[in-house]
Structure 1
């Protein structure tokens, strides 16, 4: 029987070198979350601009014409 039979070091291949962010649990999923947050922000900004443009146009149409 081999002397180091309970020592399984090296079995299963080498480990991937992890970046600091991946070690803290924020790997590739973090990039996806960041992209989703950016998309939501862009959509919100677009809606706000549309509402602001509509609010500016509405009083101009409702105002009586001065002659």
Structure 2
């Protein structure tokens, strides 16, 4: 906690200083970098989900084929 009332550091966080271009509405390279990083993350998550779905599909198909064969043999 801050020791004096004039020093509010840590109470609500710090606000970053805006450049003149940012104050006038122009975007910064920082926001572009964040967007690129977010896009990369989304692409990685998509790939991981596809791999997980493919893996579960193959593992589910293997035991499913064996399970389907055994009840039909038992019914015969």
Q: TM-score, normalised by structure 1?
A: 0.58
Aligned residue for 2:42, secondary structure, equals helix
RMSD: 2.6
User: How many residues align structurally?
Assistant: 50
TM-fit CA distance, 1:62: 3.1
Structure 1 ranges of 4+ moved more than 4 A? none
Unaligned segments of structure 2, at least 5 residues: 1-18
Take 2:20 and 2:35, find their aligned partners in 1: how far apart are those partners? 19
From the two aligned structures, give the one with the greater helix fraction: 2
1:1-67 to 2 correspondences below 5 Å:
16-18=20-22, 22=28, 26-63=30-67, 64=70, 65-66=72-73, 67=76
- Mark the structure with the bigger radius of gyration: 1
Unaligned runs of 5+ in 1: 1-14
